[in-house]
Amino acid sequence: MHLQATSAPFDDDSCEFAVLRHVLDWQPNILRVCDLVREVSPDPREFSHRDAVERAVRELVKVGLIHQQGECVLPTPAVLYVQGWDLG
């Protein structure tokens, strides 16, 4: 699930959504931050894209949607609980 390729930084909300969606799609596998950078960012070699994914991980951890232990990232029980709800 790559975001649209561009050299400009992509917005934080889109990146956070993409990171969370990717973590949930790969659940129960535990991903590393470097996996997320490679699989979610439009250009993993571009600093601004790597930075955006790393920022998204930090923000999602801060609000309790994902858990990070070192380089490993996994969804929290709370987000797994509400994942099946139709909130739309």
CATH of the domain at 76: 1.10.10.10
DSSP 8-state class, residue 11: P
Q: Which domain holds residue 60?
A: 12-83
Q: In the prediction, which pLDDT does 5 show? A: 45
* DSSP single-letter state for residue 49: H
Of the ranges 1-5, 65-69, 78-82, which is most confident?
Answer: 65-69
Residues 17-48 pLDDT 10s: 999 999 999 999 999 999 999 999 989 999 99
Total structural domains within the chain: 1
Which pLDDT does position 88 carry in this prediction? Answer: 56
Tell me the C-alpha distance between 42 and 57, whole Å.
Answer: 16
State how far the alpha carbon of 53 is from the alpha carbons of 26, 41, 47, 61, 87, in Å: 16, 7, 10, 12, 25
Q: Is residue 1 one of the residues assigned to a domain?
A: no
Q: What confidence tens digit (pLDDT) does each residue in 76-88 have?
A: 999 988 887 766 5
Q: Helix, strand, coil shares of the chain as percentages rounded to 5?
A: 50, 10, 35
Note the pLDDT of residue 7: 46
Asked whether 10 and 50 are in contact (CB, 8 A), the reply is no
